[in-house]
Amino acid sequence: MYPASQIPDGTLPPPPLDRASQLAASLLSERGEASGALIARELHDAIRTLDPAASFGFQRFLATAFQPDQAALRAAAERYLVDNTAEAAAQLARAADPPRQEVLRRMNMAPGGTAALAAMRSEIGARLGTEPELKLLDADLKHLFASWFNRGFLTLQRIDWQSPAAVLEKLIAYEAVHEIRGWDDLRRRLAPDRRCFAFFHPALPGEPLIFVEVALVEGLAAAVPPLLVQDFDADAARARAARADTAIFYSISNCQDGLRGVSFGNFLIKQVVEELRSEFPRLNRFSTLSPVPGFRRWLGRQAADDGQLSALLRETDGQTWWQDPVEGERLRAGLLRSCAHYLTQPVTAGRRIDPVARFHLGNGARLERINWLGNTAPRAIEESFGIMVNYLYDHDSIEENHEAFARDGRIVRSAAVDALLGGDPFTLS
């Protein structure tokens, strides 16, 4: 195998996919760090020239060509069954480690290697359902990213109106919860009574990994519009920040699809709480205002076996009931009680909890309040009938709440949520 600069005269270069595959294989045979980095750079250059079909072919090659040595793995497994010592377990782990992971590590040595591998994982994510062999490559990339993006390598930065324009543009592009409608909207979200924090990694300069938007308010916010729609008045915003007793985390957005499954949010929230406590000693409450993305789907499944619930769903289907105060009030009690049952159902094997609830409850928050028509944007109506939820992060009980949820699946909740649970969840008022 020759690097591109050493192809003998008169020899036709291999087709692009073959060349990329040969370069990847040669990475394992190179021992010197300098030569390995050179080949890794050539490999990334080769990958960038591949058309989509060849690029998918290279990803399949990575997924299938670098498997553990079966004879060595079998021998290590047999030894462990006979001699189940720590040394035998370590030998088995080494034998089971696929050479593909070492190829990926060496690909990461090239400048921009981390970004290229993250982009590769983003590409294969959409094809995992139809090409299951790619799951091995996806799992190896996730495993490596969990180490490379360890919390110790991340830096927390506040983003404000003075941040580089390239970073501000990325906020607009990556916002996944409440769309940022241009620069004026972004400026309002970075006003003196707002805060935005993001994690960054040195391997991806200028690229936020995840960011959170915070509103400094008085009392527990129940609805999204007051947090988003405000005239920009810097003096008034500073006065609101000075009076604030509550920090509302109203949007958390993961920015890098290639890093899906690598957890940043739990560290982000806890560190931002400490930053805010230091800057604003008056703050005594830290809460989210969160969507309930799985509620309508869950309710639809329940309706298959419940006539009353089926009737409730028909009342909301294809209607603008949330714009009619009388009709909305008629549906309010039934939908709120249903949502309370959805969010507090026991966490057992085979029963999926709402993903947003799982995130915050797993981080030690308390299910504090369920808010009627907290967000009437089309997506919120479609997913959860506009219902929003406050998850409260109480400094003195976070660890206890986390343990209760992680150990027993117990959902710590307020008396207000318990009150909603009294009575038939599917009865119209």
Percentages helix, strand, coil for the chain (3-state, rounded to 5) are 55, 10, 35
Model-level pTM? 0.88
* pLDDT value, residue 13: 63
Buried b (16+ CB within 10 A) or exposed e, 312-327: bbeebeeeebbeeeee
Tokens of 177: 């919860």
Domain 4-148 sits in CATH at: 1.20.140.90
* pLDDT value, residue 32: 57
Residue ranges of the chain assigned to CATH 3.40.630.150: 295-421
HSE on the CB side for 287, CA within 13 Å?
A: 23
152-288 has CATH 3.40.50.261 classification: no
Residue ranges of the chain assigned to CATH 3.40.630.180: 152-288
**Among the residues of 280-345, which ranges form H helices?**
295-303, 307-316, 325-344
Closest CA to 339 of 382, 394, 273, 294: 294
* pLDDT value, residue 10: 53
pLDDT tens for the 429 residues of the chain, in order: 444 444 455 555 679 999 999 999 999 886 656 678 899 999 999 999 999 999 999 999 999 999 999 999 999 999 999 988 999 999 999 999 899 999 999 999 999 999 999 999 999 998 999 999 999 999 999 999 999 999 999 999 999 999 999 999 999 999 989 999 999 999 999 999 999 999 999 999 999 999 999 999 999 999 999 999 777 789 999 999 999 999 999 999 999 999 999 988 888 999 999 999 999 999 999 999 999 999 999 999 988 888 888 888 888 987 799 999 999 999 999 999 999 999 998 877 667 789 999 999 999 999 999 999 999 999 999 999 999 999 999 989 999 999 999 888 899 999 999 999 985 444 433
295-421 has CATH 2.60.40.1220 classification: no
Strands 285-288 and 155-158: what pairing? Answer: unpaired
* pLDDT value, residue 376: 95
